[in-house]
Structure 1
């Protein structure tokens, strides 16, 4: 492997945004593999699921919302704590910012470190970073699940297990059978697993599958428009996890170093997953976490900007 630019610092190409109607009251905001967001329009107000990375960037989503409704944006749901998902929240003027207990704990524990780490990794996604007023804090925190009624629209907000992080949250519209899955599910996009619980993630995916979604908004990739596409995305996500964690477990059992594990895992996964968005970005972080978990480090270590660059130099330098 030739030396690569750090993380996604070399990714400068702007992506085409799509605002896709999934039901009369539900929309997906996607951008060719950049982070997605979701929108639910209730009788009197709007809910936004994930906020984009800065208030300036959030304006693009707000413009899409205003193209279909003038109802106030009153609710935000954070699917997890990562900066690219939450730091645009100030733009919406929402009254309620909802997160799981696990997400709240992660913001408190490592939100500041994550903000600077992510900004360094993927500067294009943090356009006008100076517009971020600080960390985004939820003001409504739930343990496992809650239900919110937006007039006649039932919205179930649930933590169905650990995976991408310990606080992963999905938003489910049971009548419409639309699921907003956050980064628990990706479609034709590499999984970022630097903060993951890889041993738990496959079961969490099966918990999502049991909902019977007919449409699904993944964390990255196109909105999925039927049950067959939903199941294909769940299967693809699980295949990536199985390949990554299985390789790391075998390497640790064989006494291989992290560097040896990285080279072997990259070579094994590249033929199937190498054309997925941000594959080269994710793999050093992914293998580092997989190696840790396979070695018995139960909870992910905190990523900092300094740790990021040290790891990248060790594996890609």
Structure 2
């Protein structure tokens, strides 16, 4: 019996390993403009069912090379993205811009590094790499997303750390990088491709699912959204969900969710209502049927409650 059990485990592991290439079937580039493409992750949280493919990544094809925005959440996904790019162009992949140092956007960096791409990120990412959270998240992902995240998956530092906004040109296209953090994270970067009017936002924008707020500064996040609006993009590619030509409407979903969290949890803090009572007494009807609601909404509300307490204490009397 023990032998049969061991044999079953071997067969299961082999079958799972055989599925490692499956994400290629999902990594189909969507053309957003003359030069810009993206792949759209599945809705919901990272899981073995979606193989960690739950965030977006994009790329811009120029006559002098390719600029990639984010690297997806596993090395296997990143390798699939590289193959997808190769189906669109034979131009070399020159640069990867990191929107922020969260697992679903950076675990694929090593695949791009292996082909000689240069990694750019805001220097706030250094704090994440040195934090206690980074190895804990890696351990959790190795357990939840094995074999797509395994002992060979590693965290990479940027080749160039940016201290703020940055502009560059490649192949006649002009790129502007905008540091608008701290918002969703301390190092949030957005990328505007000026000739195409396409804005890659990372997780400053979510569409079609409940955002992940975590311990973010939601007040600063709302200001970051206002700044993105001033860029007047004609096409917006979020960190999660479908891209949209109506940038203003797409910005509104994330803005309204953050405002609702702050209004409901802020009112509870002002009235000294305990969190459990406040959460139970809040209507989540608008969001409860959306992907990632059960995984994210309660922690979003709790962290917002704590933030509103902090803001209340720090507010001048």
Say whether the fold is shared (TM-score over 0.5): yes
Does 2:275 correspond to 1:253? no
Distance in 1 separating the partners of 2:257 and 2:194: 28
Q: CA deviation at 1:139?
A: 1.7
Q: Tell me, what secondary structure is at the counterpart of 2:310? A: coil
Q: Which residue of 2 aligns with 1:111?
A: 134
Does 2:259 correspond to 1:242? yes
Q: CA deviation at 1:297?
A: 7.4
Equivalent pair of 1:56/1:131 in contact (CA under 8 Å):
no
Q: Tell me, what secondary structure is at the counterpart of 1:67? A: helix
Q: CA deviation at 1:287?
A: 1.5
Q: CA deviation at 1:231?
A: 1.1
Q: Which residue of 2 aligns with 1:296?
A: 310
Structure showing greater radius of gyration is 2
Q: Which residue of 2 aligns with 1:175?
A: 195
List runs of 5+ in structure 1 lacking aligned partners: 1-13, 299-317
What is the aligned counterpart of 1:151 among 171, 190, 202? 171
Equivalent pair of 1:76/1:94 in contact (CA under 8 Å):
no
- In terms of mean alpha carbon deviation, does 126-135 or 159-168 score higher? 126-135
Q: CA deviation at 1:17?
A: 4.4
Equivalent pair of 1:157/1:169 in contact (CA under 8 Å):
yes
Distance in 2 separating the partners of 1:246 and 1:59: 43
Q: Tell me, what secondary structure is at the counterpart of 1:164? A: coil
Does 2:114 correspond to 1:96? no
Calculate the aligned-residue CA RMSD, in Å.
2.3
**Equivalent residue runs for 1:5-44 within 5 Å:** 16-33=26-43, 34-44=54-64
Equivalent pair of 1:32/1:222 in contact (CA under 8 Å):
no
Distance in 2 separating the partners of 1:157 and 1:245: 29
Deviations 1:134-163 (A, max 9, x none): 212112111221112112111111102432
Between the two structures, name the one with larger relative contact order (CA 8 Å, sep ≥ 6): 1
Q: 1:30 to 1:258 in 2, by over 3 A?
A: same
Q: CA deviation at 1:16?
A: 4.5
Q: Which residue of 2 aligns with 1:230?
A: 247
Distance in 2 separating the partners of 1:250 and 1:280: 23
- In terms of mean alpha carbon deviation, does 94-103 or 174-183 score higher? 94-103
Does 2:215 correspond to 1:195? yes
Q: Tell me, what secondary structure is at the counterpart of 2:101? A: coil
Equivalent pair of 1:186/1:219 in contact (CA under 8 Å):
yes
Q: Which residue of 1 aligns with 2:292?
A: 278
List runs of 5+ in structure 2 lacking aligned partners: 1-22, 44-53, 313-317
Q: 1:219 to 1:272 in 2, by over 3 A?
A: same
Q: CA deviation at 1:286?
A: 0.6
Equivalent pair of 2:62/2:171 in contact (CA under 8 Å):
yes
- In terms of mean alpha carbon deviation, does 38-47 or 82-91 score higher? 38-47
